[in-house]
């Protein structure tokens, strides 16, 4: 695009900016009214906290996306801060959607039991196959995940949860890294140049997002038959359209601008993206009203007994019992007992507290567990490197095999606390110490709860 064409387009863009803001604001108003009304209905009918806390987190995507898009469209200088907010919440919403599917299946323990059952069925089928085929199908955990996840059982759930949480972590870190690079003029939004941070951050986010989506699809394929009651396909499509379509839409606009069909100025790219998101959020809000409706939760008993408050009142009164002969009338004491059960849905304040505090507890715990799982192979690799350098630094005559070898195996056990939604991660560490001098071996097991 030549300089004259670019300047003429800039003038055309300035003339359309005010109408675009007004039109976008109208769609944003529709999106906010529908979404906030739907969220309020869930808070008023908060009878299944294990599911509804994550539904509310997913529904809140529309207000977040719509608000930041209209602000960024109105004042382009706020676009970077709005993008950080949107990216952080987008990653959390993906995690919340996965948690919602797990809650619909009865919790982590039930999901692990379901996947273990399918794994045992797969193993039974393998016994009927030839030994060569059975040997071929006995692959590593990562290979099983990409080829046949149903054979993994409990390991499948561990990998799926890791894939969802890693996206939440990396997306947030990349958002703040982009902000820091922008302050130093090294981000280059929309510029595919090696001396800018944009292409590298986009590559990391694209890989992480694809991995998370793949995990979500695999989990859906393994459990969709048991999720038919909640219409999982409609929910999956409506959620995927917001999280992933907006991302690829932004990439497409960047490529179009990079080819010269539109100016490369970041203000133009962000303005087009923000205007489209304003329209799309109104459509998404209408779709959410149908796929995440509150009707299934309005007439069901409370599922979370932890939040019930039971009060009992007793009263006694003296009455006269009438008989045929009034002279035989005798006084009697009647004892009256009344039991009141206060459900979580009776107070919006309590519902909000459970959404924020209960959901935050799960997020912090899963993030800490995922970081520890990610650091485990790194620590092993660093140990191997240090051991290699140590052997290299030794003289040939000084090299000898160590007398003691220590091996640790960490196993995560998913434990549900009764009917409560909270899930504890019980970690069992098995330490084996081998003494090569006398050929002895000792084993020590340690258990800890997070």
Tokens of 58: 């997913």
- Residue among 54, 89, 88 nearest 356 (CA): 54
Within 10 angstroms of residue 97's Cβ, the number of other Cβ atoms is 22
CA angle in degrees (0–180, nearest 5) for 150-216-225: 55
pLDDT at 278: 92
Backbone angles phi, psi at 339, to 5 degrees: -115, 125
Buried b (16+ CB within 10 A) or exposed e, 423-450: bebebeeeeeebeeeeeeeeeeeeeeee
**What is the full per-residue pLDDT of the chain (450 aa) written as tens digits?**
555 555 555 555 567 788 889 999 999 999 999 999 999 999 988 888 889 999 999 999 999 999 999 998 888 888 878 888 888 888 898 899 989 999 998 888 888 888 877 766 665 555 555 544 544 444 444 444 444 444 466 778 888 888 889 998 998 899 889 889 888 888 877 677 888 888 899 899 888 888 888 888 888 888 888 888 888 888 888 887 887 777 778 878 878 877 777 766 657 778 888 899 999 999 999 999 999 988 888 776 654 555 555 566 666 666 565 555 555 555 666 666 666 655 544 577 778 888 888 888 888 888 888 888 777 777 777 777 877 777 777 666 555 555 555 555 555 555 554 444 444 444 454 555 455 445 555 555 545 544
Angle separating helix axes 49-59 and 61-74, nearest 10 degrees = 20
pLDDT at 155: 78
Q: First and final CA of the chain: distance in angstroms?
A: 58
- Residue among 367, 364, 374 nearest 410 (CA): 374
- Residue among 82, 58, 80 nearest 69 (CA): 82
Q: How far apart are CA 87 and CA 447, in angstroms?
A: 37
DSSP class per residue in 372-417: HHHHHHHHHHHHHHHHHHHHHHS-TTT----SEEEEEEEEEEEEE-
156's CB contacts (< 8 A; 6+ apart) are: 115, 119, 145, 149, 150, 218, 222
| Beta carbons of 180 and 201 less than 8 angstroms apart | no
| Beta carbons of 431 and 410 less than 8 angstroms apart | no
Distance of alpha carbon 27 from the chain centroid: 27
Q: How far apart are CA 29 and CA 85, in angstroms?
A: 19
Tokens of 302: 């409370």
| Beta carbons of 432 and 406 less than 8 angstroms apart | yes
Provide the β-strand partners of residue 435.
404, 440
- Rounded to the nearest 5 percent, the helix, strand and coil shares of the chain are 70, 15, 20
Q: How far apart are CA 304 and CA 203, in angstroms?
A: 42
Distance of alpha carbon 155 from the chain centroid: 18
Q: How far apart are CA 163 and CA 143, in angstroms?
A: 15
Q: Kindly state the DSSP code that residue 234 receives in the 8-state scheme.
A: H
| Beta carbons of 39 and 54 less than 8 angstroms apart | no
Mind listing the domains of the chain with CATH numbers? 8-298 (1.20.1070), 401-450 (3.30.1300)
The length of the chain, given as a count of residues: 450
Q: Kindly state the DSSP code that residue 438 receives in the 8-state scheme.
A: T
């Amino acid at each position: 695009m030549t300089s004259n064409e670019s300047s003429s387009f800039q003038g055309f863009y300035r003339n359309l900016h005010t109408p675009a803001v007004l039109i976008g604001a109208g769609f944003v108003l529709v999106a906010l009214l529908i979404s906030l009304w739907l969220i309020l209905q869930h808070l008023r009918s908060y009878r299944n906290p294990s599911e509804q806390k994550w539904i509310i987190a997913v529904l809140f995507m529309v207000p977040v996306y719509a608000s930041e898009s209209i602000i960024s469209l109105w004042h382009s200088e706020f676009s970077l801060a709005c993008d950080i907010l949107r990216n952080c919440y987008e990653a959390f919403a993906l995690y919340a959607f996965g948690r919602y599917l797990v809650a619909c299946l009865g919790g982590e323990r039930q999901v692990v039991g379901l996947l273990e059952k399918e794994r045992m069925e797969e193993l039974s089928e393998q016994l009927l196959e030839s030994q060569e085929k059975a040997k071929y199908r006995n692959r590593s955990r990562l290979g099983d995940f990409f080829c046949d996840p149903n054979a993994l059982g409990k390991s499948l759930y561990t990998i799926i949860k890791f894939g969802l949480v890693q996206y939440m972590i990396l997306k947030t870190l990349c958002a703040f890294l982009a902000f820091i690079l922008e302050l130093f003029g090294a981000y280059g939004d929309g510029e595919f140049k090696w001396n800018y941070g944009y292409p590298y951050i986009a590559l990391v986010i694209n890989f992480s997002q694809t991995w998370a989506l793949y995990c979500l699809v695999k989990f859906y394929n393994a459990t969709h038959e048991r999720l038919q009651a909640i219409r999982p396909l409609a929910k999956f499509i409506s959620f995927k359209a917001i999280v992933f379509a907006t991302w690829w839409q932004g990439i497409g606009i960047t490529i179009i601008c990079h080819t010269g069909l539109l100016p490369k100025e970041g203000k133009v790219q962000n303005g087009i993206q923000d205007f489209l998101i304003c329209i799309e959020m109104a459509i998404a809000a209408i779709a959410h009203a149908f796929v995440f409706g509150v009707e299934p939760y309005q007439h069901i008993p409370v599922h979370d007994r932890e939040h019930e408050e039971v009060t009992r009142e007793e009263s006694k009164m003296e009455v006269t019992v009438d008989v045929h002969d009034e002279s035989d009338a005798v006084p009697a004491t009647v004892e009256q007992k009344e039991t009141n059960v206060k459900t979580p849905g009776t107070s919006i304040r309590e519902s909000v507290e459970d959404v924020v505090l209960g959901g935050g507890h799960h997020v912090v715990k899963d993030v800490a567990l995922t970081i520890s799982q990610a650091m485990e192979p790194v620590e092993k690799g660093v140990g191997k490197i240090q051991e290699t350098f140590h052997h290299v630094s030794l003289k040939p005559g000084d090299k000898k095999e160590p007398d003691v070898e220590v091996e640790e195996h960490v196993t995560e056990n998913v434990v549900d606390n009764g009917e409560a939604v909270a899930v504890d991660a019980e970690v069992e560490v098995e330490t084996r110490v081998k003494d090569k001098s006398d050929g002895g071996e000792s084993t020590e097991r340690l258990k800890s709860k997070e």
